[in-house]
A and B are shown apart, each in its own frame.
Chain A
């Protein structure tokens, strides 16, 4: 299983990386939506993207719409991980094609629970 972590904060990427790696996922990172598209173009084929909303260059919402426009990326699971917590925003993201939504702040368990909910499990969890 592979995860692409998209967040403009290195601190947040580091937190998410430790969580998903701990669950046995390989990971790659991007600092904004455009970088994330570049990572996808380069052939890193993630099972899931963890996506912040507010980022420079290209925000997470726009990233989702771009991914949904490309049939090649149909099977990829998209999960927002953001401090945006207005109910309307959550609905908007889901309508645009996000599968799940985690609101910052979160505990590591929250990410694990959601991945389980999405049926995403690494085959081998490192001891």
Chain B
């Protein structure tokens, strides 16, 4: 028989190991609220359910899925997207004039609002003759299914989506709204745990890793920031959440990420000394491999 606090400690250790996410003490209510429905479904008490997920990988995956925090919105914080349209995109259009191709990674995509927000901007601002690919990845299979479906409730639609874009890119399906097929075709899905190696993704001109680092411990955070460096094409941009920073990194890592201010938004780029590295995998971006 496990006590409630032992059960919580076990779940907390498990999520940390599996996803890097920290559920501190005081978050017991959150863990319980999210796992109780699964426990009820499995027909056992909360404590027994915890014992079960320790042993059963399938149930464990379900529990991890249920414990992710998926809060997101369209054009979240607005300013980064403004900066994309006004500064980053024009700059990238110059830098990539030879290949006329852009690759963008929404690296903790949640239900897809971030990826589709970028898709709408590309649809409007990418000149004819250019191609693009947006890779949306997440740890949660439920979230990836949602990106694939591209369907959003009324309440989700209201969160930050300009009305002009709602009528332009969405249509009503029952009580929900569905994103236009040509936007969905711009987005490729990948299951990717950020704590696992980034393989087979290719490299990107813009990476959005927003509002997910805050859930990780320092070491995990730094490890991810380090492994993101080679994922960016030369001259590419890296965006983190408005409450997130690279400044608390070890000096070498903090120096590798150069901070640049565009209006109210801070963007990151690979510091020039590193960008000259001979191994810059440009070829990979061309083939999209």
Which residues of A approach B to under 8 Å, CB–CB? 85-87, 90-91, 94, 98, 100-103, 105-107, 109-110, 113-114, 116-117
In contact, A90 and B167 (Cβ under 8 angstroms): yes
Q: Given A114-B160, A117-B75, are A101 and B155 also a contact pair (CB < 8 Å)? A: no
A65–B159 alpha-carbon span in the complex (Å): 26
Please name the residue on chain B nearest to A91 by beta carbon: B167
A50 to chain B, nearest CB (A): 13
In contact, B155 and A110 (Cβ under 8 angstroms): yes
Please name the residue on chain A nearest to B172 by beta carbon: A87
Which of A86, A98, A100, A114 is packed against the most chain B CB atoms within 10 Å?
A: A114
In contact, A101 and B163 (Cβ under 8 angstroms): yes
In contact, B73 and A105 (Cβ under 8 angstroms): no
Q: Given A87-B171, A94-B167, A101-B163, are A117 and B78 also a contact pair (CB < 8 Å)? A: yes
Please name the residue on chain B nearest to A81 by beta carbon: B158
Chain B residues touching A, range = 10 to 19
The A-B contact count (CB < 8 A) is 49
**Interface positions of B from 141 to 174, Cβ below 8 Å from A:** 154-155, 157-160, 162-164, 166-167, 171-172
Please name the residue on chain B nearest to A113 by beta carbon: B160
Question: Inside 8 A of A114's CB, which chain B residues have their CB?
Answer: 158, 160
Please name the residue on chain B nearest to A101 by beta carbon: B163
A86–B167 alpha-carbon span in the complex (Å): 10
In contact, B158 and A106 (Cβ under 8 angstroms): yes
A106–B172 alpha-carbon span in the complex (Å): 17
Please name the residue on chain B nearest to A100 by beta carbon: B163
Which of B158, B159, B160 is packed against the most chain A CB atoms within 10 Å?
A: B158
Q: A86-B172, A110-B158 are in contact. List 18 more A-B contacts (CB 8 A).
A: A85-B172, A87-B167, A87-B172, A94-B163, A94-B164, A100-B162, A100-B163, A101-B163, A103-B154, A105-B154, A106-B155, A106-B158, A107-B158, A110-B155, A113-B78, A113-B159, A113-B160, A114-B160
Question: Inside 8 A of A103's CB, which chain B residues have their CB?
Answer: 154, 157-158
In contact, A109 and B167 (Cβ under 8 angstroms): no
A94–B166 alpha-carbon span in the complex (Å): 11
Please name the residue on chain A nearest to B73 by beta carbon: A113
A86–B163 alpha-carbon span in the complex (Å): 12
Q: Which of A91, A94, A106, A109 sits near B73, CB closer than 8 Å?
A: A109
A98–B162 alpha-carbon span in the complex (Å): 12
Q: What are 14 A-B contacts defined by CB distance under 8 Å?
A: A87-B172, A90-B166, A94-B163, A98-B163, A101-B163, A101-B166, A105-B155, A106-B155, A110-B158, A110-B160, A113-B158, A113-B159, A114-B160, A117-B75
